[in-house]
Amino acid sequence: MPDIVIAGTGQPELLPIIDDFNNRCIDKGDCYNLLGFIDDNEANQDREVLGFKVLGPFDWIIEKKVSVINAIARTCHIRLQSTQRLQSLNATFINLVHPSVSLSYIAHIGTGNIISSGCVINPGVSIGSHNMLLTGVVLGHGVDVGSCSFFGHNVVCNGDVVVGDQAFLGSACQVLPEVNVSKYSKLAPGSVVMSNTLEGFQYVGNPARRLTIQ
C-alpha cells in the first residue's frame, strides 16, 4: 500500500477520489495510504482537513518513501511554481485518476495529473504533466494538452483541440474542433471558443471575445 501526501490544503475534493479508488481496488496492496497534507504556507501548518493533518512544509518529504499529489491550483503559474519546488526536493508524483473516468487505452498521459470523476478521455488524446481536470471534463479525439493547465467542471474540448501550457479553462466552457488555446490563456466560465486564442489573454462570452487587458 503506497504512502501518499497531498501538497496544498485547498482541494478537499481529492479525498473522495482517493476513497473511491481504494474502495474499488482489487488488490488492496495497490490502495493509497494517505498520510496527510504538506504545505509551505505557515498559516496552514495547524490545519486539519477532513480529519487529516498538515504534516509540515514541503521539505517534510525529504528522505521519506512517499508519493505526492499536488493539489495547488490557485493559478496555473502558482501550480507550476509549487511543482518546481517539489521537484527540487526530488518528489515522486503520481497520477490521481477517479475510477469512473472513461480513459481510452490509446490515450497518453504524463505524470502528476489529477483527473476527477466523470471525465471522458477519448482516443488519441495526449495529456502532459501536472494538469488538473475537475468533474465531467470531456476531451475529444486527438486533443493535445500541455502541462500545468487547469480544466474546470464540465469543460468540453472537441476533437483535435490543442491546449498549451498553463492555460486556464473555466467551468463549462467549450472549445470548438481544431482550435488552439495558446499557453497562458484564460477562458472565463461558460465561454464558447470558436477561434485560436492569443498567448496570455483572457476570453469571455459566447462567442468568446478577447479582453484588452492581459
For residue 196, CA distances in Å to 11, 126, 138, 162, 193 come to 31, 19, 19, 9, 8
pLDDT of residue 116: 97
Does 214 score more than 80 pLDDT? no
**Last residue of some domain: 66, 94, 122?**
94
Its domain, for residue 47, covers: 3-94
pLDDT of residue 31: 92
Say whether 52 sits in a helix, a strand or coil.
Answer: strand
**Last residue of some domain: 75, 94, 113?**
94
The grid cell for 81 is 511554481
State pTM to two decimals: 0.94
Phi, psi for residue 43 in degrees, rounded to 5 = -65, -20
What is the CATH classification number for the domain harbouring 174? 2.160.10.10
How confident is residue 162, by pLDDT bands cut at 50, 70 and 90?
Answer: very high
Q: What gap in Å lies between CA 132 and CA 44, rounded to an integer?
A: 22
Residue 128 lies in a domain: yes
How confident is residue 26, by pLDDT bands cut at 50, 70 and 90?
Answer: confident
How confident is residue 213, by pLDDT bands cut at 50, 70 and 90?
Answer: low
Number of domains in the chain: 2
How confident is residue 46, by pLDDT bands cut at 50, 70 and 90?
Answer: confident
Percent of the chain's residues with pLDDT above 90: 88
